[in-house]
């Protein structure tokens, strides 16, 4: 039994939980390779033009992974709290993949707190489908949640270490599937590291401080995952020298939260980079060079 995990979108939110759960059940996991231009080209061929860059990359990963495993894990996530929602791509992800790749076998669970579908019940459903008992699945899930908790605690520690550095410190703000993607975020982080910059990632904010810090910018955020972006900016902005916002075109929720951040930044140096075509990074590098020069010169726009 091999479960495929596409290394895109929700993978970067849930990989520690998923891998720990399947490991506890002794089920083998196959991950797709890092994103390449070929991955993106394959994804574009499977996507409609209006799809965001992140979704195109995701479908490319499905195409590269589909013949290497027995199932591909594709959850449907609608709401993580009763009053909020996640991106519509995550609502429709199962249906998009099922209709685009009708021959693959999908392992699916549903999280919709608004309609009483919890994460725990979803993982028990996965276990049952793979032939495990409720007790076995529940024990695996509980252990996996502890590992996920440790993962985020470790990320918080990494951020604290970077904040103690004497280097120039930059908050890299965006969804984990943008910041950690090999074609998008990695090009940015590699460039910053070569220029001796300490990088703090928005997902390194303490989990228990997200709601409080988000409320300092807005109390009416409909999209749950964008709360992390707003809260991270509020939490880190006085601890870093500047902020770089990374967005995949054309993300509607991000366009709203990015505008809120720009309006609240005051004199905090901030630039926003939106990615649509990844075949030429020259313009991006030029903007990064200018931004770093601005920081070194103490210029606040």
Dihedral over Cα of 105, 111, 115, 116: its sign: positive
C-beta neighbour count of 84 within 10 angstroms? 16
Residue 268 DSSP code? S
State residue 50 phi and psi, 5-degree precision. Answer: -80, -5
pLDDT of 54-89, one tens digit each?
999 999 999 999 999 999 999 998 888 887 778 888
CATH classification of the domain holding 93: 3.40.50
State percent of the chain over pLDDT 70: 97
38 within a domain of the structure (yes/no): yes
Same domain (yes/no): 117, 187: no
Same domain (yes/no): 76, 134: yes
Half-sphere exposure for 252 (CA within 13 Å, toward CB) = 9
Number of domains in the chain: 2
Q: Which residue has 């918080």 as its token pair? A: 156
| 3-class secondary-structure state, position 238 | coil
Same domain (yes/no): 178, 102: no
Closest C-alpha to 97, from 159, 13, 4:
4
CA distance 21 to 156: 22
Domain that holds residue 32: 2-146
* pLDDT tens, residue order, the chain (301 aa): 899 999 999 999 999 999 999 999 999 999 999 999 999 999 999 988 788 889 999 999 999 999 999 999 999 988 888 877 788 888 888 999 999 999 999 998 888 888 888 999 999 999 999 999 999 999 999 999 999 999 999 999 999 999 999 999 999 999 999 999 998 888 899 999 999 999 999 999 999 999 899 888 888 888 888 889 999 999 999 999 999 999 888 777 787 888 888 888 878 898 888 887 766 677 788 888 888 888 876 655 5
Torsion on CA atoms 238, 242, 248, 249, rounded to nearest 10: 110
């Amino acid at each position: 039994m091999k479960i495929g995990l596409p290394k895109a979108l929700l993978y970067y939110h849930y990989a520690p939980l998923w891998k720990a759960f399947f490991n506890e059940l002794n089920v083998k996991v196959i991950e797709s390779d890092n994103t390449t231009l070929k991955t993106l080209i394959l994804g574009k061929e499977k996507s409609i033009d209006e799809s965001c860059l992140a979704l195109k990359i995701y479908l490319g990963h499905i195409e590269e992974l589909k013949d290497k495993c027995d199932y591909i894990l594709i959850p449907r996530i609608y709401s993580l709290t009763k009053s909020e929602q996640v991106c519509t791509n995550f609502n429709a992800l199962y249906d998009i993949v099922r209709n685009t790749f009708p021959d693959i076998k999908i392992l699916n669970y549903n999280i919709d707190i608004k309609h009483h579908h919890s994460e725990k019940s979803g993982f028990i459903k996965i276990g049952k489908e793979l032939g495990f008992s409720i007790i076995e699945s529940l024990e695996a899930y509980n252990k996996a949640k502890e590992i996920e908790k440790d993962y985020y605690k470790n990320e918080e520690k990494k951020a604290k270490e970077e904040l103690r550095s004497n280097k120039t410190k930059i908050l890299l703000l965006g969804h984990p599937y943008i910041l950690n993607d090999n074609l998008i975020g990695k090009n940015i982080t590699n460039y910053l590291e070569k220029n001796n910059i300490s990088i703090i990632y928005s997902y390194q904010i303490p989990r228990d401080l997200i709601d409080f810090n988000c409320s300092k910018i807005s109390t009416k955020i409909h999209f749950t995952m964008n709360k992390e972006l707003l809260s991270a900016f509020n939490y880190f902005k006085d601890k870093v020298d500047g902020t770089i916002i990374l967005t995949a075109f054309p993300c509607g929720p991000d366009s709203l939260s990015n505008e809120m951040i720009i309006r609240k930044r005051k004199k905090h140096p901030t630039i926003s980079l939106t990615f649509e075509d990844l075949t030429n990074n020259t313009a991006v590098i030029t903007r990064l060079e200018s931004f770093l020069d601005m920081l070194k010169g103490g210029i606040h726009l």
